[in-house]
Structure 1
Amino acid sequence: MEFLIILVVAAVAQLFLPWWVIALVPFLVCMWMSKNGWKAFFLSFAALCVVWAAFAWYLHDQTNGAMSDRISQIFFLPNGLALVGVAGLVGGLVAGFAGVAGYHLRSMFVRKNELVYRR
């Protein structure tokens, strides 16, 4: 459920808000719902990796690779599809660390047994 919430809310929020909303959404969702830090990291990472890689692939496909191939030359990447992977990785890492931060912020204020038996 966390994965879908992060995926949908972050994708919609990025249409109207700045790029850094990808850190705010997993932070808040993981602060509210996560049961452990590893789960918070990997669910946030996977959700935003999918969002950013899908959007980067969409842009790559719409321009027939012209834009992403030129940008990939700047970063010495072999082609535009490598840039799609790098975009997904960067978005995923930002979201993953934000999710862990949200989980740990909540765990600072909630006793250990309340974290485990919350639901």
Structure 2
Amino acid sequence: MLFPVILLLSFISGYLFPWWVGCILAFGAALIFGKRSSWAFWCGFAGISIAWIALSLLKSFPNDHILATRVAHVFHLPNWGLLLAVTALIGGLAGGMSALSGSLVKRAFEKG
């Protein structure tokens, strides 16, 4: 239940809000739906990674990846696909840590 909630919320918020709103939503989703801390990390990682990949591809396909290729060359990456992978990794780590934090906060208040 946690993975689809994070995926859907982060995908929708990607159109409307800055990138960090997805992390806040992952924290909130893990606070409400999270059960295990390690599971929450991987759900947040995968949910935000997939959402960022989808959003990046939706923005990049209409212009034949011209801008993505140029940005990849600025970072000395050989092609836009590697830039997409780096973007997914960064987003996944941010989302995973946010979801893990939400799960740990929930666990702290349940024991107290």
User: After TM superposition, is the score higher than 0.5?
Assistant: yes
Gaps of 5+ in 1: 113-119
Instruction: Decide whether the 8 Å contact of 2:22 with 2:48 is kept in 1.
Output: yes
Could you give the per-residue CA deviations for residues 39-66 of structure 1, whole angstroms, max 9, x where no partner exists?
0000010011001011112222221121
The amino acid that maps onto 2:9 is V
Q: Which residue matches 2:15?
A: 15
Work out the CA distance in 2 between the residues paired with 1:10 and 1:47.
8
**Structure 1 residue 33: Cα displacement:** 1.2
Residue correspondence of structure 1 range 41-56 to structure 2 within 5 A:
41-56=41-56
Residue correspondence of structure 1 range 57-76 to structure 2 within 5 A:
57-76=57-76
Gaps of 5+ in 2: none
Work out the CA distance in 2 between the residues paired with 1:60 and 1:66.
8
TM-score calculated relative to the size of structure 1: 0.88
Larger Rg: 1
Question: How many residue pairs are counted as aligned between the two chains?
Answer: 112
Q: Which residue matches 1:101?
A: 101
Instruction: Decide whether the 8 Å contact of 1:56 with 1:84 is kept in 2.
Output: yes
TM-score calculated relative to the size of structure 2: 0.93
Q: Which residue matches 1:117?
A: none
Work out the CA distance in 2 between the residues paired with 1:15 and 1:93.
20
Work out the CA distance in 2 between the residues paired with 1:82 and 1:66.
14
Percent sequence identity over aligned pairs: 27
Q: Which residue matches 1:34?
A: 34
Instruction: Decide whether the 8 Å contact of 2:9 with 2:22 is kept in 1.
Output: no
Q: Alpha carbon RMSD of aligned pairs, Å?
A: 1.3
